[in-house]
């Protein structure tokens, strides 16, 4: 990780249709995020790590040809991208077990 606290993560993406792919994010993806975040007044990566990683995955997916050039950020983030993880299975934030243990369990 660099002194700024940012890195260029490799991402593993699961799409709504079941397709999976990996991409290496690069400096152009980070710059695209910075420009877009400034334009829309989005919070930074530390405050919104899921948005940050999802945006990097979208940008890298377009750049590497995993996504059609017509795939907009809005469609990717709201409808098509089911999950973004690092290839080792970790996500941008704390991993939480989504299963509810049920009442009366501690």
Tens-digit pLDDT profile for residues 36-88:
999 999 999 989 999 999 999 999 999 999 999 999 999 999 999 999 998 87
Does 5 fall in a domain? no
* CA–CA separation, 96 and 93 (whole Å): 9
The secondary structure element, H or E, covering residue 24 is: strand 20-24
Does 73 fall in a domain? yes
Minimal CA–CA distance to 67: which of 52, 50, 84, 51? 84
Does 36 fall in a domain? yes
Minimal CA–CA distance to 77: which of 101, 56, 103, 46? 56
Beta-carbon-side half-sphere exposure of residue 95 (alpha carbons within 13 Å): 7
Does 95 fall in a domain? no
Does 75 fall in a domain? yes
Our count of domains for the chain comes to 1
pTM of the prediction? 0.79
Does 26 fall in a domain? yes
* CA–CA separation, 80 and 71 (whole Å): 9
103 — phi, psi (to 5°)? -70, 150
Report the percentage of the chain scoring pLDDT > 70: 79
Does 98 fall in a domain? no
pLDDT at 102: 42
Could you list the residue range(s) of the whole structural domain that residue 37 is in?
A: 10-85
Does 78 fall in a domain? yes
């Amino acid at each position: 990780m660099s002194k700024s606290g940012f890195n260029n993560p490799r991402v593993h993406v699961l799409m709504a249709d079941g397709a999976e792919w990996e991409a290496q994010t690069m400096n152009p993806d980070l710059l695209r995020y910075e420009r877009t975040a400034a334009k829309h007044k989005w919070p930074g990566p530390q405050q919104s790590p899921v948005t940050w990683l999802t945006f990097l995955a979208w940008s890298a997916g377009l750049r590497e040809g995993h996504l059609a050039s017509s795939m907009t950020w809005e469609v990717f983030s709201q409808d098509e991208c089911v999950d973004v993880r690092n290839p080792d299975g970790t996500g941008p934030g704390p991993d939480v077990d989504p299963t509810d243990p049920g009442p009366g369990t501690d």
